[in-house]
Amino acid sequence: MSVPHAPHTFGATTTATEVIDGVDLRGRRALVTGASSGIGVETARALAAAGADVTLAVRDTDAGTHVAARLEAELPPKSGQLTVGRLDLADRSTVETFVADWTGPLHILVNNAGVMALPQLTRTPDGREMQFSVNHLGHFALAVGLRPALAAADGARIVSVASIGHLFSPVVFDDLDYRFRPYDPWTSYGQSKTANILFAVGAAERWADDGIAANALMPGNIADTSLARHLDLEQLAGFMDTTGLALPPGKTIEQGAATSVLLAASPTVEGITGRYFADCAQAQTVTERAGAIAGVAPYALDRDNAARLWAVSEALVC
């Protein structure tokens, strides 16, 4: 990866295009999950524009093919190639098939796909709570399966798209699947996003000798994505009263993808691993949820929690 032509100051309003400016990813291979909509598309666009060959890992391959064709028509000359692969993170067999079909090194893995605030308790075919399974377990199985490809890249980066919603809940190890406590859409989402951060902490510690860096991030408050498709207007209107969390300032999709692209490709974060970013910078820790519009909870960066989650996840998917 080349150093940008000039130093940049990145922040909340930075776009993915600005982050990738001057970065050369030719010869690199990237994988972006959930790249058929929202910031996943913009992340794939930025990486391909810098020369990376990008695989769009999507549940709906027709939608993914449509996106790939649109991006190819819009990307500048000498951009990287785009391919589409089927990946349903709620279906472990498709994860296994995807991993088995992958050949060669993988330089960038962006775990971007996710679901948010499912109104009713929903379980995957193997009995796991849906948000935890899709947002964390599916991505965990994918990354573990692709570890040899990441190690072969000699300097790979894993980007785990989390959320300020991790402040809704730590990982409740004794009841991951809501078999004892009442189901709540926000605490369920929260523990899955905490798990995304803890995965980065765990991967950073375990895979450092493979040259793999792993970081997590909050993309921002982005209204124009499919992530909020399960929320109605009444739920959105009562968000602050229901969750005790203030909404951060809104972002465009281009701004929302910026921190993902920073962690995936920017030389400004070379050597940084096991951290949580927001607005293109490392986030500060916070001590309580009430009124927070930024920051990271200490439990989401705790190494003991990360080790416990890793062991639990291995038992569930490996």
Rounded distance, CA 169 to CA 223, Å? 22
| Residue partners of 268: CB distance under 8 A and separation at least 6 | 8, 10, 262
Q: Give the number of other CB atoms < 10 A from CB of residue 116.
A: 22
Q: Which residue of the set 183, 189, 276, 299 is catalytic? A: 189
For the chain, how far is it from start to end, CA to CA, in angstroms?
33
178 a catalytic residue: no
The torsion region of residue 220 among left (phi > 0), alpha (psi -120 to 50) and beta comes to left
**What residues act catalytically?**
189
